[in-house]
């Protein structure tokens, strides 16, 4: 038994295993809470409200199993970031807060045929070219020819497939994304005019805050056969792209929260935090949210597809090489803010569940039918970005994920310092020099954002993934080191 003292309350936790803690069912909780964290990470949790949020999520009608928290957990809006909740599609609810404002914020990893040693002297040129082709930062727009509203609706319907048909990337890329880069239930007519307006000019843009495009090199390989199957070798240059559905997704979330807030009274749902606003999955409001969330998710897949294609052009331009020599190829694209309808085994029985992953990544085990054929033996690739100065990891899903977390794992390092604190600590630091000291060529729009995003503001991602390794939820495949970064 561990007691966490927080301002105004005490939370008691049972230690189930070295890396697993449980908050017993109490009060209005329908299920217990379970937190995956090592001792080191758990001691950091008492300084924010995330444990209380795990308990609040357990109040949701129709929640199955546990209200789960991944080791990178920190407090968010209603749901903690790093939260996973599975709800029965028959009598459960869907909650936009369990997806997040940035619907289908996610990451994709692209391999190349390049070796770091061969291009390290030209990294500045590569990063500059990427910076010129991929708009980043506030007000960034105009990456691709302006869309008509009709085009945009097609994009919302077809997701990454729209981008491929428009000439960005290749058809085979679609096999290496969740859902083939398109959720079929999307309804673009449910997306408000304001959301459409916000999305019109932002396709192919990176955004700001913690979004980035990173060039990395493979620093260490832990599972050689798996790395081989993924096309990874030591010293290889790879590209990591982190962004989501931009202003459109935000607006869809905002519009949906308004609807859900009103609907709660109709369905007589009472929750301890209004940001858990929800409606039964089978209700018109629930179905409408699923359909508009899908549209926003499709926007994000199209966005990442366009950005990947632009990055490929940038590499070719900067190095004066063609596509074959470059060998740009998508390894996998994962979502970390989304709700999915999935079949899971609960107490020995198959059940259809709506799995909310907010700041959490799907991690299906080998043999799962939704993993690409080429990865059936190794499991679903999982990308865990760190901060922009330290390492990050590629992992694969394992059997324990299906048993313990509805096929889910963490999503990244997680912040441990407020933006104001980070800025303070960044004062007097020459950002370019600091990044260069870490071996990273950085190009960015806003010094302010960089100051807020410096490595000192983040947890060590190694601690986060250690928990998942101990729990057997995912297996580490390779570690990467950033060598170039583009930020808004």
Partner 1 sequence: MNEDRGTFREIEHTADLGIEITAADLPGLFAAAGEGLFSLIADPENIDPRDQVAVSAVGAGPEELLHAWLRELLSQFNLDGFVGKTCVVERLTDERVDGIAHGETLDLSRHRFRTEIKGVTYHDFKVWQENGAWHARVIFDV
Active site residues: 411
Q: Is residue 480 a contact partner of residue 216, using CB atoms and an 8 Å limit?
A: yes
Verify binding: residue 425, partner 1, rule CB under 8 A.
Answer: no
d(CA 37, CA 187): 38
Length, in residues, of the chain:
488
Rounded (5°) CA angle 205-210-212: 45
Verify binding: residue 265, partner 1, rule CB under 8 A.
Answer: no
Rounded (5°) CA angle 34-36-41: 125
* Closest distance to partner 1 from the beta carbon of 98 (Å): 14
Sheet strands (E) in 18-155 = 20-23, 33-36, 63-74, 81-88, 93-94, 106-115
Closer CB to partner 1, residue 213 or residue 365? Answer: 213
Q: Find the helix packing angle between 193-200 and 246-266, rounded to 10°.
A: 160
Single out the segment in contact with partner 1 by CB under 8 A; choices: 118-126, 159-167, 365-373, 416-424. 416-424
Interface pick for partner 1 out of 112, 449, 467, 474 (rule CB under 8 A): 449
Site for partner 1 in 211-250 (CB under 8 A): 247, 250
* Closest distance to partner 1 from the beta carbon of 488 (Å): 8
Single out the segment in contact with partner 1 by CB under 8 A; choices: 279-287, 396-404, 411-419, 432-440. 411-419
Biggest distance spanned by C-alpha atoms of the chain? 64
Residue listed under structure tokens 């009598």: 91
Interface pick for partner 1 out of 22, 197, 403, 434 (rule CB under 8 A): 197
Residues 6+ apart with CB under 8 A from 461: 72, 384, 385, 386, 387, 390, 391, 392, 393, 412, 413
Verify binding: residue 168, partner 1, rule CB under 8 A.
Answer: no
Report CA torsion sign: 49, 81, 464, 366. positive
* Closest distance to partner 1 from the beta carbon of 174 (Å): 29
Verify binding: residue 266, partner 1, rule CB under 8 A.
Answer: no
d(CA 290, CA 404): 25
d(CA 282, CA 354): 11
The closest of 257, 345, 293, 283 to 64, measured between CA atoms, is: 345
Give the number of residues in contact with partner 1, rule: CB under 8 A. Answer: 39
Verify binding: residue 198, partner 1, rule CB under 8 A.
Answer: yes
Binding letters toward partner 1, positions 27-66, x by CB under 8 A = ---------------------x------------------
Closer CB to partner 1, residue 356 or residue 475? Answer: 356
Closer CB to partner 1, residue 213 or residue 223? Answer: 213
d(CA 457, CA 307): 26
Verify binding: residue 431, partner 1, rule CB under 8 A.
Answer: no
d(CA 276, CA 16): 27
Verify binding: residue 372, partner 1, rule CB under 8 A.
Answer: no
* Closest distance to partner 1 from the beta carbon of 97 (Å): 9
DSSP 151-178: HHHHHHHHTHHHHHHTTSS-GGGGGGBG
Interface pick for partner 1 out of 139, 142, 284, 323 (rule CB under 8 A): 139
User: CA 79 from chain center: how many Å?
Assistant: 15
Closer CB to partner 1, residue 424 or residue 437? Answer: 424
Single out the segment in contact with partner 1 by CB under 8 A; choices: 8-16, 166-174, 206-214, 462-470. 206-214
* Closest distance to partner 1 from the beta carbon of 439 (Å): 27
Site for partner 1 in 73-102 (CB under 8 A): 74-78, 81, 101-102
Residues 6+ apart with CB under 8 A from 401: 363, 364, 365, 407, 408, 409, 473, 474
Closer CB to partner 1, residue 32 or residue 488? Answer: 488
Give the single-character DSSP code of 390. Answer: S
Interface pick for partner 1 out of 137, 204, 385, 389 (rule CB under 8 A): 137
Give the single-character DSSP code of 147. Answer: P
Closer CB to partner 1, residue 211 or residue 304? Answer: 211
Closer CB to partner 1, residue 71 or residue 247? Answer: 247
Single out the segment in contact with partner 1 by CB under 8 A; choices: 33-41, 201-209, 290-298, 393-401. 201-209
* Closest distance to partner 1 from the beta carbon of 230 (Å): 31
Q: Which residues bind partner 1 (CB under 8 A)?
A: 48, 74-78, 81, 101-102, 137-139, 194, 197-198, 207-209, 247, 250-251, 253-254, 257, 274-275, 415-421, 445-446, 448-449, 452, 488
């Amino acid at each position: 038994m561990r007691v966490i003292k927080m301002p105004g309350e005490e939370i008691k936790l049972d230690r189930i295993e070295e890396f697993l803690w449980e908050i017993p069912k109490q009060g209005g909780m329908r299920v217990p809470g379970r937190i995956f964290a090592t001792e080191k990470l758990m001691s950091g949790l008492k300084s924010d409200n995330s444990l209380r949020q795990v308990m609040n999520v357990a109040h949701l009608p129709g929640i199955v199993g546990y209200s789960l928290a991944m080791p990178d957990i920190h407090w968010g809006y209603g749901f903690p970031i790093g939260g996973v909740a599975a709800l029965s599609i028959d009598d459960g609810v869907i909650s936009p807060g369990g997806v997040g404002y940035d619907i289908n914020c996610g990451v994709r990893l692209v391999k190349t045929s390049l070796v770091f040693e061969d291009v390290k002297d030209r990294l500045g040129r590569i990063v500059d070219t990427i910076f010129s082709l991929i708009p980043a930062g506030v007000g960034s727009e105009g990456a691709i020819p302006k869309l008509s509203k009709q085009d945009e609706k097609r994009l919302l319907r077809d997701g990454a497939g729209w981008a491929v048909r428009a000439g960005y990337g290749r058809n085979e890329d679609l096999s290496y994304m969740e859902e083939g880069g398109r959720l079929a239930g999307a309804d673009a007519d449910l997306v408000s005019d304001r959301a459409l307006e916000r999305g019109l000019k932002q396709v192919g843009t990176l955004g700001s805050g913690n979004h980035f495009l990173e060039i990395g090199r493979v620093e260490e390989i832990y599972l050689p056969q798996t790395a081989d199957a993924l096309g990874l070798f030591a010293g290889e240059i790879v590209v990591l792209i982190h962004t989501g559905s931009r202003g459109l997704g935000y607006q869809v979330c905002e519009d949906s929260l308004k609807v859900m807030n009103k609907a709660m009274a109709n369905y007589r749902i009472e929750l301890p935090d209004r940001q858990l606003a929800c409606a039964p999955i089978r209700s018109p409001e629930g179905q409408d949210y699923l359909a508009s969330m899908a549209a926003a998710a499709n926007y994000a897949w199209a966005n990442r597809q366009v950005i990947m294609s632009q990055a490929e052009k940038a590499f070719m331009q900067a190095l004066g090489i063609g596509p074959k020599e470059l060998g740009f190829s998508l390894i996998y694209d994962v979502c970390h803010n989304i709700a999915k309808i999935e079949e899971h085994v609960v107490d020995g029985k198959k059940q259809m569940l709506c799995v909310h992953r907010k700041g959490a990544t799907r991690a299906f085990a080998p043999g799962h039918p939704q993993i690409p054929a080429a990865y059936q033996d190794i499991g679903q690739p999982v990308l865990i970005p760190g901060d922009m100065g330290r390492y990050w990891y590629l992992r694969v899903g394992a059997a324990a994920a299906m048993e313990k977390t509805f096929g889910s794992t963490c999503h990244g390092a997680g912040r441990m310092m407020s933006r104001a604190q980070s800025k303070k600590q960044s004062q007097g630091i020459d950002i370019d020099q600091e990044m260069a000291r870490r071996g990273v060529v950085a190009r960015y729009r806003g010094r302010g954002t960089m100051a807020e995003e410096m490595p000192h503001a983040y947890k060590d991602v190694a601690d986060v993934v250690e928990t998942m390794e101990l729990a057997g939820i995912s297996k580490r495949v390779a570690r990467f080191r950033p060598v170039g970064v583009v930020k808004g």
